Chains A and B, each alone.
Chain A
Amino acid sequence: MTPLQGCLLVSALLFAIGFAGAVTRRHAILALVGIELMLNAANLNFIAFWRYGPHPEALTGLMFVIFSIAIAAAEAAVGLALVIAIYRHYKTSNLDEVKDLKG
């Protein structure tokens, strides 16, 4: 098994765990945590393909991931703000109960 295959395996595992968490958790923040895991799995893929790819000296993969992480941070902030707004409105953070678009 090459290091690339190992990396991909880890990232696939990470994605699966994230997905399972995002789908199954009832609490909004935990679902958000699952989504962050899936995002990080993708980031790991980027790094792996860059490090073991044809041009590891070009630093392209690294740049992508740094951007991605920055955006993910912003996205996490927006996501948490949304969760708080939802909680204020519905007095709950259980995703099963938050199913109406109507106020």
Chain B
Amino acid sequence: MIWIVNNLWLIPALPLGAAGIIAVNKQPQRKLAATLAIGSMGVAFLLSLCAFSATLGHTGPGAFREIFSFHWIQFGGHWMDLGWVLDPLTAVMLMMVTFVGTLIFIFSVGYMAHDENFMRFFCFLALFAAGMLGVVIANNLFLFFVSWEIVGLTSYLLIGFWYHKPSAAAAAKKAFITTRIGDLGLLLGMVWLYAETGTLNFYDHGHGCLEGSALTQMAAHATLGGLAVSTMIGLLIFLGAVGKSGQVPLHVWLPDAMEGPTPVSALIHAATMVAAGVFLVARVYPLMAAGGIIGGHGVPVTTALTVVTWVGAITAIFAASIAVAQNDIKRILAYSTVSQLGYMMMGLGVGGVAVGMFHLITHAFFKALLFLGSGSVIHGCHEEQDVRNMGGLKKYMPLTFATYAIGMLALSGFPLLFSGFWSKDEILHAAHGWSVSQIPFYLGCTGALCTAFYMTRQVALVFFGQYRSAAVPGRSSHDSHRAEVLSQGSSSSHVAAAEDGRTPHSHQAQGLSHGSVSIHAAAAGDGRTPHESPAVMTVPLVILAGFAILLGFIGTPAWPWFDGYLTGEATPFDLGRLTEGGTLGLMLASAVIVFTGLGLGWLLYGIRPRQTAEEKDVLERAQPAIYKVLQNKYYVDEFYEATVIRFNAFTAQLCDFFDRWIFGGAVLAVTYVTLGLAWLYRLTDEHLVNFGFDTGCESLRQGGGELSKLQTGRVQTYLRIIGVALVALILFLIWGRKA
């Protein structure tokens, strides 16, 4: 066994240790916190590189897989094992998480430079990284679940990082509770799986729950509704993935989670944590696929995978259509994330692990790029998030624009050059060949059209036209609003900046000395002009942009290296495959779709750019009713408000009533009875027992007092008494004898 397999635990342990050290240190040690967090992630990345290279050298039938297990706890005669597994799936996720994580940590140093809770932020980030890496390496559903919950906790903590903002606190709560619903399913699935197979290890040299005999047994064993046990457990586990990955109907928390700092949105709510749900499905894919009929492309078809596909497809189109009508730069990206996660699920359902995971990896890079880009835009526009108030930023922030455009084209799936094209195309290709139904394919195509459209809209609104914020007539009211938000919200330095009219950028230049001084000098003339971000923020953008382009080439139809890497097959380069089985036609079709979306977006938003922040959206003027529905996210939140939450509130009130009047009444009755008894008891005690006792005592005391008067202390009195007594005795003796 290779040493990296035995020491794989180091990868999550390093950030965990960093989080612990940061947590016990005092607040002002920013440099220490940043160094520890970034350093631990960097080392974790190097270790991941070792792990990745260990899986690369493997040849032979089947994928590379090494496990390490140890006994953890004994109950009854049974040992619960913990352990980790190194296979291509783990290795590729490790690479992605540590690499993207390191870049985002570096970006955070710039983004959070002014926040007074800098230490806390990095502590949570490092803890999150530890949890996420734990999820990735776990070879045991229990260890997986523990890490999964750590990830959920840090997500909650980071969404509510600015907890003094009521909206952030509410969003954190919403995220936590919504994902908890999914986690309940995961927990039930876990328990059922344990009851069924007696082990929670994924792989255990033939005895794991994802290996031969256990799967056959579960697939053969039918339960309610005629569904196999494996299907039921798979669906319960999928429920956990639905909650974490923001699939319909539990997607509502993800857009709200954008209340957190932007690096958090990039790391947790775009690149890694939300992908954990997809990863979970990929991990338990053998369970989902157990007992399936082999359909087209050699992909198994089961009830569980069908459900995964449909949920994914519906999520993809649903969220993509909402994103069309949003105005918050991060919310657009959030809905885009939900939609892309839907694609990944669909990819897993129709095409297997490789298809879904390929999109997961490429998406992680370009979505992290987009979020960090939006963070740079927000930072440069002085905490402005509404795209209607932006515009023309191409001129002010060229580097951000260039990288953002690359991310946008990758997300839209611009043909040939960008990674998103290849991964999305692979999903659509698999969906086209799906033997159950063609509808997911068409949903996916429509979603792709929407994606290209809303990304063009966003880029056109943010980077093209003219900067609208200063041109707004009602500028003063807007300013006061922002000042209010700032004073409630972010750090005090922002407030100071708003008050003395300096830009946050000038702080940036002082604090970090990375800032591009020339732009800063230009910006200093007008306190409200947008400015480019410092190098500590733009360098990660450039690196991510590079990967957003290059990563596509590891999974093209001509050279499906990624597919082969995951399944353990050699994959020669073969241009001929491009023309096989309608691949070329589909690629052309998807290119047409993308160009249609891009063109439509440019037609509506690019040619005649929006002039003022107040004017109505082009779509709103054309179709006010539909636009309103989309802008209000299909009223899902309102629907939940009216049904689930109202029902919950009603139940709570009912329980309150029961508690207050039925149970409370019973308790009160008991109280009063006890009180009455106690009163009676006191009465007897005071007036009967105490009275008798007191009287006795008093008379005894008085008697003692009387008698003590005899004790005068005069010796002669005593002598006299003795004399009298002697005489009396003598007289008695004399007379007594006579008688």
Contacts and interface: CB of A to CB of B under 8 A. Distances in A.
Interface of A: 19, 22-24, 31, 95-96, 98-101
A95 B714 contact: yes
22 contacts: A19-B719, A19-B723, A22-B716, A22-B719, A23-B716, A23-B719, A23-B720, A23-B723, A24-B716, A31-B716, A95-B714, A95-B715, A95-B716, A96-B714, A96-B716, A98-B713, A98-B715, A99-B712, A99-B713, A99-B714, A100-B713, A101-B713
Interface string B703-739: 0000000001111100110010000000000000000
Contacts of A23: 716, 719-720, 723
A12 B203 CA distance: 125
Contacts of A19: 719, 723
Contacts of B715: 31, 95, 98
Given A23-B716, A95-B715, 12 more contacts: A19-B723, A23-B719, A23-B720, A24-B716, A95-B714, A96-B714, A96-B716, A98-B713, A99-B712, A99-B713, A100-B713, A101-B713
Nearest to B723: A19
Nearest to B713: A99
B722 to A, nearest CB: 9
Nearest to A24: B716
Contacts of B719: 19, 22-23
Interface string B676-720: 000000000000000000000000000000000000111110011
Nearest to B715: A95
A58 to B, nearest CB: 29
Contacts of A22: 716, 719
Q: Main SS of the interface on chain B?
A: helix
A98 B165 CA distance: 89
A62 to B, nearest CB: 27
7 shortest interchain CB distances as A-B pairs: A99-B713, A99-B714, A23-B720, A23-B719, A23-B716, A100-B713, A95-B716
Nearest to B718: A23
Interface in B412-466: none
Interface residues of B, number: 8
A91 to B, nearest CB: 17
Nearest to B714: A99
A19 B712 CA distance: 20
B452 to A, nearest CB: 111
A100 B715 CA distance: 10
B373 to A, nearest CB: 99
A24 B716 CA distance: 8
A36 to B, nearest CB: 14
Contacts of A99: 712-714
Contacts of A24: 716
B718 to A, nearest CB: 10
A23 B723 CA distance: 9
B128 to A, nearest CB: 82
A13 to B, nearest CB: 15
A98 B714 CA distance: 7
Contacts of B716: 22-24, 31, 95-96
Nearest to B726: A19
Nearest to B720: A23
Contacts of B723: 19, 23
A99 B714 CA distance: 5
Nearest to A97: B714
Contacts of A101: 713
A70 B401 CA distance: 132
Q: Which residue of A19, A24, A101 has the most chain B CB atoms within 10 A of its CB atom? A: A19
A12 B397 CA distance: 140
Contacts of A95: 714-716
A95 B714 CA distance: 7
B433 to A, nearest CB: 116
Contacts of B712: 99
A17 to B, nearest CB: 13
A98 B713 CA distance: 7
B734 to A, nearest CB: 14
A99 B712 CA distance: 7
A30 to B, nearest CB: 11
A93 to B, nearest CB: 13
A23 to B, nearest CB: 5
A95, A99, A101 — which one has the most chain B CB atoms within 10 A of its CB?
Answer: A99
B61 to A, nearest CB: 111
A23 B714 CA distance: 11
Interface centre among B716, B719, B723 (most CB of A within 10 A): B716
Contacts of B713: 98-101
Contacts of A98: 713, 715
A24 B720 CA distance: 9
A98 B717 CA distance: 12
Contacts of B720: 23
A17 B720 CA distance: 14
Contacts of B714: 95-96, 99
B226 to A, nearest CB: 104
A101 B711 CA distance: 11
Contacts of A100: 713
A100 B714 CA distance: 8
B713 to A, nearest CB: 3
Nearest to A99: B713
Nearest to A28: B715
Nearest to A31: B716
A93 B723 CA distance: 23
